[in-house]
């Protein structure tokens, strides 16, 4: 039975949905704690938007249940979207162009008296740092300001959960950083429980308290960002998250001949766990590619070996391609066994 006292803002259980005869969501389980920002992260087409639509009530799942703030909204009973107390921010913010900022924010507040409505609009304008902008129209605002109005409009009815679909995808990198920082501080101030969807790992790391990695209609792993990147639950997660080198015991032996990995499975060697020495013996190098990110080089070394073709590592220095013929590899951290 749903428990209204639980500290969960949202609980999705066993959610399945087929569209046009194709299974899109497969017994999906997801939980959101109050005041937390959860990122639903996955490749294009894995079903992220479909999950949001089911939570919002725009799609009806075939099986499973959705509980918002202790109340069952989908499952044995179905509550219509407008009664679910869920805020939704679409990718393009979708402000009403013919309404002022104040009218946009007040749109979902029709149940309030005139004075309560004006008070709440003012409160929300202050929350998003737009006090004094109430009489403007959307076209008189910058992109960042429009996004904050969309946020104020979604937060005005005090939703139990806020859903955001690719909220940062159309924004240039500099503004994105600033907007993420602003949003994060607004969310913490207002104790907002939020799920946002993206396929961009950088956005998830920068914004989310927790990440749910979604692959092919299911949650492949749920956890804190550091946990996902250091302890992936499967090879598929490790590959999607680009955690680093995923090697079998035999492949690891190519790089580290003295290493005994007795358990069978795949082992993660993160790029920053690997060091190299250029020597006269060791593994023969075929090619080195390196990309500088402003702080360090991401290095991709192609080696001359049948079992293992390439190794990823990071370096503080530019490696001299051509001058390096053979390498000895060392690891400076215990490899992680990916248990499947
Ligand atoms: N109405 C529909 N009828 C049939 N198939 C659909 C429908 N809506 C979505 N799909 C399919 O469901 C799958 C999941 O779509 P969804 O939009 O949830 O993915 P997504 O992970 O949000 O992708 P993206 O990151 O590209 O937005 C896709 O294969 C899509 O083609």
Question: β-pairing, 37-41 with 86-89?
Answer: unpaired
Q: Which atom, in ligand 1's list, is nearest to the CA of 20?
A: 4
Domain borders along the chain are 8-241, 245-338
Burial of 305 (0-12, 13-18, 19+ CB in 10 A): middle
| Mutate which of 44, 45, 54 for ligand 1 pocket (most atoms within 8 A of beta carbon) | 45
Q: Are 177 and 101 in contact (CB under 8 A)?
A: no
Q: Are 86 and 57 in contact (CB under 8 A)?
A: yes
Q: Measured in angstroms, how far is the CA atom of residue 197 from the centroid of ligand 1?
A: 13
Phi-psi region of 230 (alpha: psi -120 to 50; beta: other; left: phi over 0): alpha
Q: Measured in angstroms, how far is the CA atom of residue 18 from the centroid of ligand 1?
A: 11
Output the DSSP codes for 121-165. HHHHHHHTT-TT-TT--GGGS-HHHHHHHHHHHHHTT--SEEEEE
Among residues 307, 323, 313, 321, the alpha carbon closest in space to that of 276 is found at 313
| Mutate which of 47, 61, 163 for ligand 1 pocket (most atoms within 8 A of beta carbon) | 47
Q: Are 285 and 302 in contact (CB under 8 A)?
A: yes
Q: What are the distances in angstroms from CA 106 to CA 19, 117, 159?
A: 35, 7, 14
| Strand ranges for the chain from DSSP E | 8-19, 22-33, 37-41, 63-68, 71-74, 86-89, 161-165, 194-198, 210-215, 218-223, 245-247, 266-269, 274-279, 283-292, 297-303, 310-315, 326-331, 336-338
Q: In this structure, which residue's CA is closest to atom 2 in ligand 1?
A: 19
**pLDDT score for 178:** 81
Q: In this structure, which residue's CA is closest to atom 10 in ligand 1?
A: 19
pTM of the model: 0.87
Among residues 16, 12, 41, 28, the alpha carbon closest in space to that of 205 is found at 41
**pLDDT score for 173:** 77
**pLDDT score for 174:** 78
| Phi, psi torsion values for 127, nearest 5 degrees | -55, -40
Distance CA 161, CA 192 (A): 7
| Mutate which of 17, 18, 19, 204 for ligand 1 pocket (most atoms within 8 A of beta carbon) | 19
3-state secondary structure of 214: strand
Distance CA 205, CA 201 (A): 6
User: How many other C-beta atoms are found inside a 10 Å radius of the C-beta of residue 312?
Assistant: 17
Q: Which atom, in ligand 1's list, is nearest to the CA of 50?
A: 18
21 lines ligand 1 (CB under 6 A): no
> ipTM score here?
0.95
- pLDDT, one tens digit for every residue, the chain (340 residues): 555 557 899 999 999 999 999 999 999 999 999 999 999 999 999 999 999 999 999 999 999 999 999 999 999 999 999 899 999 887 767 889 999 999 999 998 988 899 999 999 999 998 888 999 999 999 999 888 888 899 899 989 889 899 999 888 767 777 788 878 888 888 898 888 999 999 999 999 999 999 999 999 999 999 999 999 999 999 999 999 999 999 999 999 999 999 988 888 899 999 999 999 988 888 999 999 999 989 999 999 999 999 999 999 999 999 887 788 899 999 999 999 998 7
Q: In this structure, which residue's CA is closest to atom 14 in ligand 1?
A: 47
Partnered with residue 196 across adjacent β-strands are 39, 164
218 lines ligand 1 (CB under 6 A): no
Distance CA 212, CA 30 (A): 8
Q: Which atom, in ligand 1's list, is nearest to the CA of 42?
A: 21
Q: What are the distances in angstroms from CA 233 to CA 41, 125, 312, 319, 339?
A: 15, 42, 20, 33, 6
Q: In this structure, which residue's CA is closest to atom 24 in ligand 1?
A: 44
Q: Measured in angstroms, how far is the CA atom of residue 258 from the centroid of ligand 1?
A: 48
Query: 8-241, which class in CATH?
Result: alpha beta
Long-range contacts of 288-296 (CB under 8 A, 24+ apart): 288/319, 288/321, 288/324, 290/315, 290/318, 290/319, 292/318
Distance CA 68, CA 12 (A): 9
Q: In this structure, which residue's CA is closest to atom 28 in ligand 1?
A: 45
**Could you tell me how far CA 176 lies from the centroid of its own chain?**
15
């Amino acid at each position: 039975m749903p428990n209204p006292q639980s500290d969960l803002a949202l609980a999705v259980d066993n959610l399945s949905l087929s569209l046009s005869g194709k299974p899109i969501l497969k017994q999906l389980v997801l939980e959101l704690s109050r005041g937390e920002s959860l990122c639903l992260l996955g490749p294009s087409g894995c079903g992220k938007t479909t999950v949001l639509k089911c939570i919002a009530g725009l799609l009806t799942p075939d099986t499973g249940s959705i509980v918002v703030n202790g109340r069952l909204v989908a499952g044995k009973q179905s509550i219509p979207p407008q009664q679910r107390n869920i805020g939704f921010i679409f990718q393009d913010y979708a402000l009403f162009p013919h309404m002022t900022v104040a009218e946009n924010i007040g749109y979902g507040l029709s149940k309030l008296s005139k004075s309560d409505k004006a008070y709440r609009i003012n409160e929300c304008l202050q929350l998003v740092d737009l006090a004094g902008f109430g009489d403007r129209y959307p076209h008189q605002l910058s992109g960042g300001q429009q996004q904050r109005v969309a946020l104020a409009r979604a937060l005005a009815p005090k939703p139990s959960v806020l859903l955001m679909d690719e909220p940062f995808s159309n924004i240039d990198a500099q503004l994105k950083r600033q907007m993420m920082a602003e949003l994060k501080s607004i969310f913490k101030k207002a104790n907002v429980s939020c799920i946002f969807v993206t396929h961009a790992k950088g956005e998830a790391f920068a914004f989310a308290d927790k990440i749910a990695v979604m692959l092919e209609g299911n949650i492949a792993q749920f956890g804190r960002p550091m946990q996902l990147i250091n302890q992936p639950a499967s090879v598929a997660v490790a590959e999607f998250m680009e955690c680093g080198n995923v090697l079998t015991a035999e492949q690891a032996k190519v790089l580290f001949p003295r290493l005994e990995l007795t358990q069978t499975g795949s082992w993660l060697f993160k790029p920053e766990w690997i060091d190299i020495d250029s020597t006269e013996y060791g593994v023969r190098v075929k090619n080195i590619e390196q990309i500088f990110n402003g702080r360090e080089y991401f290095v991709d070394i192609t080696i001359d070996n049948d079992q293992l073709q390439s190794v990823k590592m990071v370096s503080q220095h530019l490696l001299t391609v051509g001058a390096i013929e053979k390498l000895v590899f060392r690891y400076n951290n215990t490899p992680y066994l990916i248990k499947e």
